[in-house]
């Protein structure tokens, strides 16, 4: 029989708490009036636009840019790469 290291147990417990917390917040948001839900959505979009992407996420976007033949899509992905690299608005 194998045993989990204490760090693994703590990590699994933390994930379970985080998922439970997220589900509770989502449930609360669903009960808000539409105008307040719109504010939450705007906040989420702003937060997403400001965050920096991980190396894996940047690599996946770069591969998508290489793979697409559509020049408009290439430009959109390039802008997303720039925003994801620096976080926030485009610095190019």
Q: What is the DSSP string of the chain?
A: -----HHHHHHHHHHHHHHHHHHHHHHHHHTS-HHHHHHHHHHHHHHHHHSPPPHHHHHHHHHHHHH---HHHHHHHHHHHHHHHHSSS---
pLDDT band at 1 (very low <50, low <70, confident <90, very high): very low
Give 24-82 pLDDT, tens digit per residue.
Answer: 999 999 999 999 999 999 998 888 777 888 899 999 999 999 999 999 999 999 998 98
pLDDT band at 84 (very low <50, low <70, confident <90, very high): confident
pTM over 0.75: no
For residues 76 and 9, the model is more confident at 76
């Amino acid at each position: 029989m194998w045993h989990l290291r204490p760090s693994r147990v703590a990590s699994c417990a933390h994930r379970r708490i985080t998922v439970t917390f997220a589900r509770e917040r989502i449930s609360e948001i669903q009960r808000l009036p539409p105008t307040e839900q719109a504010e939450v959505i705007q906040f989420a979009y702003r937060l997403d636009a400001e965050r920096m992407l991980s190396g894996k996420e940047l690599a996946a976007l770069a591969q998508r840019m290489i793979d697409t033949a559509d020049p408009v899509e290439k430009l959109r992905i390039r802008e997303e790469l720039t925003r994801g690299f620096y976080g926030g608005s485009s610095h190019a």
